[in-house]
Amino acid sequence: MNIAPPTLPSSPLPSSPLSSIPLLAVRNLCAEFRTRSGTVSALENISFYINPSETVGIVGESGSGKSVLALTIMGILDPAGHVTAGEILWSQSAATLNLLNTPEKVFRQLRGKDLSMIFQSPRTALNPIRKVGKQIVDVLRCHTQLPPAQLKPRAIELLASVKIPDPAQRYEAYPYELSGGLCQRIMIALALACSPQLLIADEPTTGLDVTTQATVMNLLKDLATDRQMATVVITHDLALASEYCDRILVMHAGHLIESAPTAELFQSPQHPYTAKLIAATPEPHKGFNDLAPILGNLPDLRRSDLPPCRFVSRCDQATDPCHNQPLVNTQVTETHQVSCWHPLGGPQL
């Protein structure tokens, strides 16, 4: 069954080329966390697609729901989290799976093999009391049919493929013996061990110095190109997303508010929040005084009276409909969508 890109009016969904079947299609996904202090509306009507072999960035400030979205797709949301609506459709050969109702036994075979993830803070994601090479062998043993004698050599090959010096020696190392950059490369080797079709990289450069950040991102880019692998890069760093991503999705307080090809988004941002993000992003030609901070804070997502637009209290363009009318989704160009009552307009590509 082919996946037709959703066109539901309740959330902005980029249009996938008619000749392309999305590898992943998320439709009107809603998720919440039930806590002692109230129910947190973490995701509301999220819809987007990922095509084979493309790199998509998901950006937004901390607390916008980026990591929650990734964990929901992977089926490893915290026990306090609950998906309340929507679909996550995975295209596999001639069949389509809705990951939200896929049996855990089937999902477990998919996760780590065809659908993989690099987590934030590699030191905490790796098992601290198990050698890193053994952790790669665990993945290979679970998801491949390699004979036992070939597991260690294959793990060393994977370490070499992510440009780790002396891979045979590093195979025997524990995570605490390695630098942050090497731990991140170990995570990449783990994620790519079974040649996944889609890799989700959640803040892959967190805690790394600038030089190591560039090294890790260039490595991810090269591996994705060589393996024709789709990649989702989740980051709060808009400059990083602009350099490595074909397309960017902008999230704010659990909403997907804008989606466009990277160049188009930077040339003509349509949502006021996107424009403010770009204005606050450091660039080589900008001085410190040229940066414009985004004033205010994210709304309390436990509120029962959240406005339709969760950016309304921080927006210079807000009018009465923004406070009490459902968001309007506008198709700016064939590949550019925005969820806003007052798109900024301006020149289009």
- Of the two residues 330 and 171, the one the predictor is more confident about is 171
At residue 105, φ and ψ (nearest 5 deg) are -65, -40
């198709």: which residue's tokens?
331
Please write down the long-range contacts of 33-37, taking CB distance under 8 Å and 24 or more positions apart: 33/78, 33/80, 33/81, 33/82, 34/80, 34/82, 35/80, 35/302, 37/302
- Dihedral sign, CA of 275, 279, 283, 285? positive
Q: What is the pLDDT of residue 349?
A: 31
Q: Looking at the predicted structure, is the pLDDT value of residue 96 above 50?
A: yes
For residue 100, count CB atoms less than 10 angstroms from its CB and return exposed for 0-12, middle for 13-18, buried for 19 or more: middle
Average pLDDT, the chain: 88
Whole-angstrom distance, CA of residue 197 vs CA of residue 170: 27
Q: What is the pLDDT of residue 287?
A: 66
Q: Looking at the predicted structure, is the pLDDT value of residue 160 above 80?
A: yes
Q: Looking at the predicted structure, is the pLDDT value of residue 286 above 90?
A: no
3-state SS class at 307: coil
CATH superfamily, domain at 24-114+196-339:
P-loop containing nucleotide triphosphate hydrolases (3.40.50.300)
């301006």: which residue's tokens?
346
Closest CA to 152 of 165, 164, 138: 138
Whole-angstrom distance, CA of residue 127 vs CA of residue 112: 16
Q: What is the pLDDT of residue 200?
A: 96
Sequential DSSP letters for 58-85: EE-STTSSHHHHHHHHHT---TTEEEEE
Average pLDDT of span 285-306? 81
Q: Looking at the predicted structure, is the pLDDT value of residue 134 above 90?
A: yes
User: Is the model's pTM score more than 0.85?
Assistant: yes
**Could you count the other beta carbons within 10 Å of the beta carbon of residue 298?**
18
Q: Which amino acid is at 18?
A: L
What is the tens place of the pLDDT at every residue in 311-337? 999 998 889 999 989 888 889 999 999
Q: Looking at the predicted structure, is the pLDDT value of residue 2 above 90?
A: no
Q: What is the pLDDT of residue 139?
A: 93
Whole-angstrom distance, CA of residue 187 vs CA of residue 159: 10
Q: Looking at the predicted structure, is the pLDDT value of residue 291 above 80?
A: no
Whole-angstrom distance, CA of residue 47 vs CA of residue 24: 11
Average pLDDT of span 222-246? 93
3-state SS class at 243: helix
Q: What is the pLDDT of residue 296?
A: 83
